[in-house]
């Protein structure tokens, strides 16, 4: 294993870029950030000042051309991911890329081919795999603690919908929100989904429907091993960020509840109550963001495979496309039907 710090560059200084920059700067001493790029130079400069990053540029080319940088984090908008993966691979940089790689399978395959040809490492940013609660669910399945899995239920609801400007370019709810749940389904059960059926609607904001998207959906998954899964999504939950999982097995079940800012319970003669759950992903998944980047840095420094591969990034996109096709055509869709 290398004993020197891993030199990292970041492309994108928006919300997730800032999260990753702060994580690397303040929580992972095995890495150091040499440069950050964003078309909004002021945003990049603010992150650089906060995190002690010596170089700021408006172009990703400035990061990729830096011979000292060994790995790049791609945290820019989704429409740039595939091209940046290709460019980073051709520059010989190891790559951490936020999800999804692209909305189009052809673009994804081109990016993965470039990674393979260059022989660099690629990790996709499905951070929920690194959450301690979900990791414990996975452990119960792998160890046989709950017997043979039969049913899985994932609940994933946001506290509020994103801006309409984002929805119009995000690829839709299945691509920007449910994609995490598609990855979790594969991860938790440890098998592939072969068929998806979706029932969805617009129940939160009619403007979301006018933008061509849904805001509420129930998705049924049928795995190759016979497990039946459901994913319950809504873009708005009045009480906050709702992130729960339950798996029923032949010998028992395992379930995770929401995370709260404290464990206090208030009991009076009229009610028993507790505070609302943590309000959004940056609070709920702080530790998982750290763990996923620590895993990526270790994979590069120790020259071992990444924990979430390019194929792990491709399959949830196929699932998202199948989910939308199922909704549009009012029928179950097999994943093998999705080819583009």
| Model pLDDT for residues 3-31, shown as the tens digit of each residue | 689 999 999 999 999 999 999 999 999 99
The whole-number pLDDT of residue 3 equals 67
Lay out the sheet containing 94-97: strands in order across: 55-57, 31-37, 6-11, 71-74, 94-97, 122-124
pLDDT digits (tens, 9 = 90+) for 154-191: 999 999 999 999 999 999 999 999 999 999 999 999 99
Helix, strand, coil percentages for the chain (3-state, nearest 5): 40, 25, 35
The whole-number pLDDT of residue 46 equals 97
Give the number of other Cβ atoms within 10 Å of residue 271's Cβ: 7
**Segment holding 314, helix H or strand E:** helix 310-329
Nearest Cα to 127, choosing from 259, 294, 242? Answer: 294
Is the entire prediction scored with pTM above 0.85? Answer: yes
DSSP state of 327: H
Tell me where in the chain the CATH 3.40.50.720 domain(s) lie. Answer: 6-120
The whole-number pLDDT of residue 104 equals 94
Spatial CB neighbours of 143, under 8 Å, sequence gap ≥ 6: none
> Rounded to an integer, what distance in angstroms lies between the CA atom of residue 60 and that of residue 39?
9
Residues with pLDDT less than 70, the chain: 1-3, 282
Quote the CATH superfamily of domain 6-120: NAD(P)-binding Rossmann-like Domain (3.40.50.720)
> Rounded to an integer, what distance in angstroms lies between the CA atom of residue 92 and that of residue 110?
16
Phi, psi of 244 (to 5 degrees): -135, 155
- 256-265, Cβ contacts within 8 angstroms, sequence gap of 24 or more: 256/133, 256/134, 256/136, 256/137, 259/133, 259/284
Q: How many Cα atoms are found within 13 Å in the side-chain-facing hemisphere of 73?
A: 33
Under 8 Å between Cβ of 86 and 21: no
Cα end-to-end span (Å), the chain: 40
> Rounded to an integer, what distance in angstroms lies between the CA atom of residue 120 and that of residue 95?
7
Under 8 Å between Cβ of 161 and 204: yes
Tell me where in the chain the CATH 3.30.360.10 domain(s) lie. Answer: 131-280+316-337
Transcribe 216-236 into DSSP letters. EEEEEEEETTS-EEEEEEES-
Asked, as a colleague might, if the bond just before 100 is cis with ω within 30 of 0, I would say yes
Phi, psi of 29 (to 5 degrees): -65, -15
DSSP state of 210: H
Quote the CATH superfamily of domain 131-280+316-337: Dihydrodipicolinate Reductase; domain 2 (3.30.360.10)
Under 8 Å between Cβ of 196 and 221: yes
> Rounded to an integer, what distance in angstroms lies between the CA atom of residue 122 and that of residue 110?
14
Over its C-alpha atoms, the chain yields an Rg (Å, rounded) of: 20
The whole-number pLDDT of residue 284 equals 80
Phi, psi of 219 (to 5 degrees): -120, 130
């Amino acid at each position: 294993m290398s004993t020197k710090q891993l030199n990292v560059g970041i492309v994108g200084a928006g919300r997730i870029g800032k999260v990753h920059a702060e994580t690397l700067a303040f929580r992972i001493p095995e890495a150091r950030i040499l440069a950050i790029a964003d078309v909004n130079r002021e945003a990049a400069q603010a992150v650089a000042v906060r995190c002690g990053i010596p170089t700021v540029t408006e172009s990703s080319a400035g990061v990729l051309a830096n011979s000292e940088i060994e790995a790049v984090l791609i945290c820019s908008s989704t429409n740039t991911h595939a091209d940046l993966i290709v460019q980073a691979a051709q520059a010989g940089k190891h790559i951490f890329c936020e999800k999804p790689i692209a909305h189009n399978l052809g673009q994804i395959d081109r990016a993965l081919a470039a990674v393979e040809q260059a022989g660099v490492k690629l990790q996709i940013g499905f951070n929920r795999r690194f959450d301690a609660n979900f990791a414990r669910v996975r452990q119960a399945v792998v160890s046989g603690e709950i017997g043979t899995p039969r049913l899985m239920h994932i609940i994933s609801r946001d506290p509020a919908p994103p801006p309409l400007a984002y929805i119009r370019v995000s690829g839709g709810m299945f691509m920007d929100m449910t994609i995490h749940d598609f990855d979790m389904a594969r991860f938790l059960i440890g098998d592939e989904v072969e068929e998806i059926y979706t029932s969805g609607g617009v129940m939160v904001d009619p403007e979301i429907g006018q933008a061509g998207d849904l805001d509420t959906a129930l998705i049924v998954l049928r795995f190759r091993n016979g497990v039946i899964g459901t994913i319950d999504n809504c873009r708005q939950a009045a009480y906050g960020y709702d992130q729960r999982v339950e798996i029923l097995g032949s010998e028992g079940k395992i379930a995770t509840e929401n995370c709260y800012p404290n464990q206090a319970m208030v009991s009076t003669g009229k009610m028993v109550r507790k505070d609302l759950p943590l309000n959004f992903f940056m609070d709920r998944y702080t530790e998982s963001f750290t763990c996923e980047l620590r895993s990526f840095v270790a994979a590069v420094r120790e020259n071992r495979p990444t924990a979430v591969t390019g194929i792990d990034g491709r399959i949830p996109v196929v699932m998202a496309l199948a989910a939308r096709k199922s909704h549009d055509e009012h029928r179950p869709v097999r994943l093998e039907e999705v080819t583009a």
